[in-house]
Amino acid sequence: MSLWLTMIFAGMVTYAIRLSFILLIGIREPPDLVRRALRYVPPAVLTAIVFQELFVSNSGLNISLGNPRLLAGLVAIFVAWRTKNALLTIVVGMIALWGFQAFLWG
Amino acid sequence: MKNEFFSGIKGVFPILIGVLPFGMIFGVLALGAGIPKGAAQAMSAVVFAGSSQIVMTQLIGGGAPGLVIVLTVAIVNLRHALYSASLAPYVRGLKPAWKWLLAYLLTDEAYVVSILHYEEPYSASPPSGNTERDLTAVEGSLPASHDFRHWYFFGAALALWTTWQLSTAVGIFLGAIIPSSWSLDFTLALTFIALVVPALKNRADLAAALSAGLIAVAAYAWPYKLGLMTAAFVGIFVGMLVESKT
């Protein structure tokens, strides 16, 4: 498969996934159980991605105080919890990462 | 209508600061994997899903077969089916053209910003209402005529799309001067932290988040990002379990 063809198929598959329920539920009302389950989609999916980013690096799992991403992530989580400010969370988290990297890696 | 559109842009704006470096990193990685500049830029428009685009560049750089690449992208992006299902009740009264447009623009960031807006109290009757009257109001001859919240979704999603295309271009053309020691890829995690932490409103949300996070870490080595999907389903199940017991 050529690069362009691969890309177009990848795009079509992604689009089909995004369209799926938006088109389907346009026809039928979802049952109550499904509706309740969907409320937990954002916390579950986003936290799963965040935990992998914080705990897993190229060299594998790193659950220790020597992991600058984990430390900076904890700082960012604290800022997000106390301030609910997205911009501040991102900026403080990035500065924290640079700080921890400088400290841990010299 | 216009108010909702600009509120959407405003709502997503802080998140754009985190998306910008991530798009640049994609541009850099794509060129590094031997993808031509035009194709790298087109990928941001055709696929328009950051983490799966990064995975694609890794697979293309490693010479994986096209079918494997397409299937991997499908699995990495499967979580969008959950977003699609979650938003569907709110957009079901819209014309098909709106549904196709909003589905194309449906990303993690646009989803979270919009769903939080949809879940806020709103003057028009929400589609999650239990009475028959609410449902007919959405489906009636003037479908959701007082509900312009899809304009909020559109504003947020369009701002995100524009940022993603521009940052990809910046990454492609200025990529060589962004050193990897800056760790700008960390903005993905930070963006998601900024999205998810304020959205944890009760014990059930917290239980869903923590259980999904733990499973994702335990299953990190599973192929094709399957650990991520498993973690999502466990998190949803645990959330509902805690909800039913409180």
Q: What is the pLDDT of residues B2-15, one digit of tens each?
A: 899 999 999 999 99
Picking from B84, B128, B200, the nearest residue to A20 by CB comes out as B84
Residue B123 has pLDDT above 80, yes or no: no
Picking from A7, A50, A89, the nearest residue to B42 by CB comes out as A7
Percentage of chain B beyond pLDDT 90 is 56
Domain limits of chain B? 1-184, 200-246
* Residue to test with chain A: of B9, B58, B168, B186, most A Cβ within 10 A: B186
Q: Do B194 and A29 touch (CB under 8 A)?
A: no
The Cα of B2 is separated from the nearest Cα of chain A by a number of Å equal to 24
* Neighboring chain B residues of A2 at a CB cutoff of 8 Å: 66
Helix (H, G, I), strand (E, B) or coil at B132: helix
What count of other Cβ atoms lies within 10 Å of the Cβ of residue B116?
A: 14
Picking from A2, A51, A89, the nearest residue to B217 by CB comes out as A51
Q: Do A10 and B231 touch (CB under 8 A)?
A: no
Consecutive sets of 10 residues in chain A, 106 residues long: mean pLDDT of each?
93 96 80 86 91 88 92 98 94 96 86
pLDDT classification of B177: cutoffs 50, 70, 90:
confident
Mean pLDDT of chain B: 87
Residue B47 has pLDDT above 80, yes or no: yes
pTM: 0.82
Nearest CA in chain B to A7: B43
Nearest CA in chain B to A77: B193
Per-residue confidence (pLDDT) for residue B7, from 0 to 100: 95
Nearest CA in chain B to A29: B89
B86/B196 Cα distance (integer angstroms): 16
Asked if B89 contacts B64 with a C-beta cutoff of 8 angstroms, the reply is: no
Q: Do B193 and A17 touch (CB under 8 A)?
A: no
Q: Count residue pairs from A and B with Cβ separation < 8 A.
A: 274
Q: Do B47 and A1 touch (CB under 8 A)?
A: no
Q: What is the pLDDT of residues B136-168, one digit of tens each?
A: 344 333 345 678 999 999 999 999 999 999 999
Percentage of chain B beyond pLDDT 70 is 90
Q: Do B212 and A47 touch (CB under 8 A)?
A: yes
Of A39 and B101, more confident: B101
- How would you label B138-165 residue by residue, b for 16+ Cβ within 10 Å and e otherwise? beeeeebeebbbbbbbbbbbbbbbebbe
Per-residue confidence (pLDDT) for residue B175, from 0 to 100: 74
Mark which residues 32-91 of B lie under 8 Å from A by CB: 35-36, 39, 42-43, 46-49, 51-52, 56, 60, 65-67, 69-70, 73-74, 77-89, 91
Estimate the crossing angle of helix B108-119 against helix B2-32, to 10 degrees. 160
Per-residue confidence (pLDDT) for residue A50, from 0 to 100: 94
pLDDT classification of B44: cutoffs 50, 70, 90:
very high
Domain limits of chain A? 1-39, 41-106
Nearest CA in chain A to B43: A7
Per-residue confidence (pLDDT) for residue B168, from 0 to 100: 96
Choice among A77-86, B78-87, B197-206 with the minimum mean pLDDT: B78-87
Choice among A29-33, B133-137, B213-217 with the minimum mean pLDDT: B133-137
Per-residue confidence (pLDDT) for residue B233, from 0 to 100: 92
Runs of H (alpha helix) within chain B: 2-32, 37-46, 50-61, 66-76, 79-91, 96-104, 108-119, 132-139, 149-174, 187-196, 203-218, 226-244
Choice among B77-91, B131-145, B228-242 with the minimum mean pLDDT: B131-145
Written as six digits, the tokens of B120 are: 């806020």
Per-residue confidence (pLDDT) for residue A31, from 0 to 100: 82
Q: Do A76 and B190 touch (CB under 8 A)?
A: yes
ipTM of this model? 0.91
Tell me the sheet residues that pair with A57: A60
* Chain B CB within 8 Å of residue A104 CB: no
Per-residue confidence (pLDDT) for residue B146, from 0 to 100: 74
Written as six digits, the tokens of A29 are: 């009302």
pLDDT classification of B83: cutoffs 50, 70, 90:
very high
Per-residue confidence (pLDDT) for residue B141, from 0 to 100: 34
pLDDT classification of B237: cutoffs 50, 70, 90:
very high
Per-residue confidence (pLDDT) for residue A6, from 0 to 100: 96
